[in-house]
Structure 1
Amino acid sequence: MLDFGPFYLTFKLALITTMMLFLIGVPLAYWLAFSKIRAKILIEAVVGLPLVLPPSVLGFYLLIAFSPANAFGGFIEKYFDLRLVFSFPGLVIASMIYSLPFMIQPIQAGFRMLPRNLMDASYLLGKSKLTTLFKVLLPNIKTSLLTACILSFAHTIGEFGVVLMVGGNIPGETRVISVAIYDQVEAMNYGLANLYSGILLAFSFLVLATVYFLNHRMVQSHYSI
């Protein structure tokens, strides 16, 4: 029988992860786009690491870091009464790290494509950097912001290795849809695995089609002005 619990948990995880990443991603992408500090190359490499690192490797190191037996996990549990391994909060933090480049890179690219004189004109009019960011820069990279949010959301939904390593397989707590599919395959229940997979496939296609459609519409409206 189809269980909608993993779907609910997956969309909840993706929504929270995307919202948190947006709050972190905008200022970080702004800094990476405009900072002249040479060390930012190292920060860019760290941000992009999940793109090339196998999810099982990243999940393993996060599992070690989040463990109460280690410094970080022990500190969080002792002072915040929060256990990160095999828990939903741990899944959120792990998902944020895993999906970070999908939020940062589109926004950073959007900032870099803006004409420099756009910022200079705002500064000449006496606007602060914060006002320039919210009133001038962000409204001009709406396509990049939308793409970053949708890709981060979709990427979080498709996670498997990281969420399995960090969260395990606890019903109602950490069993997301990708783990549920794995469960059904292990149990040789291919019919239900196919149903879960088909729903996820349809959703993923819909997300990508929406991104391309909105980008196409925004480009058209830009050139029609």
Structure 2
Amino acid sequence: MNIDIITIFPDMVGAILGESIMKRAAESGQVNFRVVNLRDFTHDTHRTTDDRPYGGGPGMVMKPEPIFEAVESLRGDNTTVILTTPQGERFSQPAAGELTGHSHLVFICGHYEGVDERVREALVDREFSIGDYVLTNGVLPAAVIADAVVRLIPGVLGGEGATDEESFGEGLLEYPHYTRPPEFRGMKVPEVLSSGDHGRIARWRREQAEARTRERRPDLWERYDRLRRDGRE
């Protein structure tokens, strides 16, 4: 998979891509990352990437010319262009899984008040938001989405099925985890986890995942419970 990230803050992206799973995926050749400085596609002395909005109002808007040139220099036959924006669809685990099937992702990182609407109309294939809040720029959302996608690529995390039981994998939050010591400051690891009875452990984990989802994410629980009931009918 090839992942290109277009931004005016390339150093922010490099710090994220150079660590942990992202770094290992790049070193193994499973993913090729490229950070593209949008200012390289400007043609004025000040390398301008933004301008005042038509109609007035606060803030600045990202200019279309450099973004068009940057995307057109990268785009191939199987490229999917993604804009990170608060107005996009809510990014989710199913969306991450879907994007793993794409061979080339190009992220446009918005800044200031956003991008010129013509960028959205003519270049963008998907728009994603990572939550109902506003960040200073689109670098962090692009990195979050890239991380969620890359770790689902077979082999990136190592073991077969390494992501199968994670939160959202089945529409549930994940069950609690424990490790040694068996007791810490009066808090004990549940006995069932040391029983060696894999059937009991699986049932306990399922019960905990369901209870945790029901309590913390009623929206997820409602969808999961509806699908479960439909499957029994």
Look at both structures and tell me which one has the larger radius of gyration over its CA atoms.
2
- TM-score normalised to structure 1 length: 0.24
Higher strand proportion, which one? 2
Instruction: Identify which of structures 1 and 2 has the higher relative contact order when contacts are C-alpha pairs closer than 8 Å and 6+ apart.
Output: 1
